[in-house]
A and B are shown apart, each in its own frame.
Chain A
Amino acid sequence: MRIIDVHTHPILREDQRGPAGAAQLIRRARAHGIEHLVALGDVLAFSRMQTAEQVQLINDETAAVMRAHPHFVTGFCYLNPLLGPSVVEAEVARCVARGFRGLKLEIANNARDACMAPVMRAAEQHGLVVLQHAWSMTNIHQRRFHTDPEDVATLAQRFPRVPIIMAHLTGCGVRGILAVKGCLNVVVDTSGAAPEAGLVEFAVEQLGARRVLYGSDAPVRDFGVALARITGSRLDARTQRMLLHDNASALLRLP
């Protein structure tokens, strides 16, 4: 089975994982049959609110992983939208020049905030995919800076030409799936929390098989467990192949 993982953090200080650890993670990914992965950077390395210099360092680390593993790693450029349009635009241009193919948003701000406009314009200008962290805020109450699925829907409706990966299917849950159902530029990755039974099947039923992608969130999660969310589901083999590989390949325009 061919597999692309759209959600990994090969460098992660919380896991004492530097460049050598990233190489080890990539070897382990290959052992699981993964043939390509998206590296998102150590996005909470310093705080949820990174300075411009810290953002650059995070993206430099991702670029180094890309250089060390050409053809295996696609980098997404981490951004702190609160740093303002000029910083955002400069960092996107710097990363695009180094071969990054997407943007990663975490919890500096909520996706519905006005500061997202320059980010999304840059994504549209450069033809980039946006991977937006999302989680249901029903029981967490941090929506001031933490993006709820409803906020992803708002962002997607404002920028319908930008493809968005809403991260963390399990964190978004049934309500999250339904929140983005009408936003055809939104796909969902299967990462996040424990592997709740029945949820991947529900996402495919509601969104269609083309709008659900395999993502692990490794090393925060275990590759084997993350893969089993799909291979251990009731989905047929053809649908599993779409989630594990074909959808990501098309979205990232991989050869």
Chain B
Amino acid sequence: MNYLDANTWIGAWPFTFCDSHTARSLQAHLKRQGIQRALVSPLGAVLAPAPGPANRELLRTTRGLVGLIPVPVINPALANWREELVLVAADARVRAVRILPNYHGYRLRAPAVNELVAALTARGLRLIVQMRLIDHRHEYHAMKIKPVPAADLAALLDRHPQLAVLASGLLQPELRKWLPLYPQLLADLTFAEWYETLNHLREKVAARQLAFASHTPLLITAAARAKLDMSPRSKTERVAIASGNLDRWLP
């Protein structure tokens, strides 16, 4: 099956014993796991005071590596986010940007997010909202970070009904609740899990709204593949979730 991974990262994460990948080692790891293509963002942009240096490294180190699609991080709470967007959008490989409101100290309801949406729309770029990066119950004890409220995402979609958003890191109850209400929303499977995960989601959610995601290196890559590989859903449906839906979503 052809896999396009919606959620992978390069760089180090200081709070767990997961791997720290360069772009090249990530590409090799994903290849070993049977994943041909991936959206990749820089972990260095999550905790740094500004995402610029990590974005620059992402764009530099992924150049020439087939299958890795760079997804820079934009922080609209910073005064220079428009300049940063211009810089990353100058690279023709950039087709989407990722935002992390809970790590960067703003709400999806903030006026700057509306301005970012307008800027992305004008440039034909997509928006990925990282709803959670870590299960908040297991955040490092000094980190008091809650997930992005799903209701805030819903309000964003109400304000921008034509906006094509990929929500990354929703839990399975959130997926079952919110996706039927917002058919334009695509969500990844990063934290979705229940007995027969896909069957459970498909009771409520359209297959075209789901996208494969491993969250490498924070989660075990093979575990993400198991959600699709071991599922009794039809091949057509699994292929759509493995790559087709995200391929269609990207500009």
- Which residues of A come within 8 Å of B, CB atoms? 15, 25, 28, 32, 135-136, 138-140, 170-171, 173-174, 193-199, 201-202, 218-225, 227-229, 231-233
B17 near A199 (CB under 8 angstroms)? yes
Q: In the complex, what distance in Å separates the CA atom of A171 from the CA atom of B136?
A: 11
Q: Which chain B residue shows the least CB distance to A138?
A: B141
User: In the complex the two chains form, is B222's CB within 8 Å of A197's CB?
Assistant: no
| Residues in A whose Cβ lies below 8 Å from that of B57 | none
Chain B residues, Cβ within 8 Å of A221: 193-195
Interface residues of B (CB under 8 A from A): 16-19, 135-139, 141, 190-191, 193-197, 215-227, 229-231
CB pair A218–B195 under 8 Å, yes or no, is yes
Contact: A198 with B16, CB < 8 Å? yes
- Among the interface residues B135, B138, B215, B225, which one has the most CB atoms of the partner chain A within 10 A? B138
Q: Given A139-B136, A139-B139, A229-B220, are A197 and B18 also a contact pair (CB < 8 Å)? A: yes
B196 nearest in chain A by CB position: A222
CB distance from A38 to the nearest CB of B (A): 16
Chain A to chain B contacts (Cβ below 8 Å), 11 pairs: A136-B138, A139-B136, A171-B138, A174-B17, A193-B138, A194-B219, A197-B17, A197-B218, A228-B220, A228-B226, A232-B223
CB distance from B213 to the nearest CB of A (A): 12
The chain B residue with its CB closest to the CB of A139 is B137
Q: How many angstroms from the CA of A198 to the CA of B20 in the assembled complex? A: 11
- Contact yes or no, A135 B137, CB < 8 A: yes
Q: Specify which of B138, B139, B218, B226 is in contact with A222 (CB 8 Å cutoff).
A: B226
- How far is B226's CA from A61's CA once the two chains are assembled, in angstroms? 30
A227 and B197 alpha carbons, distance in the complex (Å): 14
| Beyond known contacts A136-B137, A197-B17, A225-B227: 11 more, CB 8 A cutoff | A25-B195, A28-B195, A28-B196, A171-B137, A194-B190, A197-B19, A197-B216, A197-B220, A199-B17, A222-B194, A225-B193
In the complex, what's the smallest C-beta–C-beta distance from A241 to chain B, in angstroms? 17
Whole-angstrom distance between the alpha carbons of A221 and B195 in the complex?
A: 5
Q: Known contacts A32-B230, A174-B17; is A222 also within 8 Å of B222 by CB?
A: no
B17 pairs with A194, CB closer than 8 A = no
- Cβ-defined contact, A222 with B137, below 8 A: no
State A219–B221 Cα separation when bound (angstroms): 21
**B220–A15 CB distance below 8 A:** no
| A135 CA / B18 CA spacing, docked (Å) | 20
In the complex, which of the residues A32, A171, A229 contacts B223, with contact meaning CB atoms closer than 8 Å?
A229
A227 touches B137 (CB 8 A): no
Chain A residues, Cβ within 8 Å of B190: 194
Docked Cα-Cα span, A139 to B137, in Å, equals: 5
Q: Chain B contacts of A223 at CB under 8 A? A: 195, 230
Question: Smallest CB–CB gap between A63 and chain B, Å?
Answer: 22
Judging by beta carbons under 8 Å apart, are B195 and A194 in contact? no
Check A195–B220 contact: CB distance below 8 A.
yes
Given contacts A219-B194, A221-B193, contact A173 B222 (CB under 8 A): no
Contacting residues, chain A, for B224 (C-beta < 8 A) = 225
Contact assessment for B194 and A193 in the assembled complex, using a CB-CB cutoff below 8 Å? no
Contact at A228–B17, with CB atoms within 8 Å?
A: no
Q: B195 near A224 (CB under 8 angstroms)?
A: no
Question: What is the CA–CA distance of A219 and B223 in the complex, to the nearest angstrom?
Answer: 16
Which of chain A's residues have a CB closer than 8 A to the CB of B18? 196-198
Partner of B219, one of A195, A201, A231: A195
Which 5 residue pairs spanning A and B have beta carbons closest together? Answer: A232-B222, A219-B195, A224-B226, A198-B17, A224-B230
Q: Which residues from B are CB-within-8-Å of A228?
A: 220, 222-223, 225-226
Shortest beta-carbon distance, A80 to chain B, in Å?
A: 24
Shortest Cβ distance from residue A19 to the other chain B in the assembled complex, whole angstroms: 16
Residues of chain A within 8 A (CB-CB) of B195 are 15, 25, 28, 218-223
Minimum distance in angstroms from A230 CB to a CB of chain B: 9
A194 touches B230 (CB 8 A): no
The chain B residue with its CB closest to the CB of A12 is B195
Contact of B141 among A135, A139, A171, A232 (CB under 8 A): A139
Report how far A233 CA is from B17 CA in the complex, Å. Answer: 12
Contact B16 A199 (CB under 8 A): yes
How far, in Å, is A25 (CB) from chain B's closest CB? Answer: 7
Q: Which of B194, B219, B225 contacts A197 (CB 8 A)?
A: B219
> Could you tell me if B17 and A222 are in contact, using CB atoms closer than 8 angstroms?
no
**With A and B bound together, what is the CA distance between A224 and B222 in angstroms?**
9
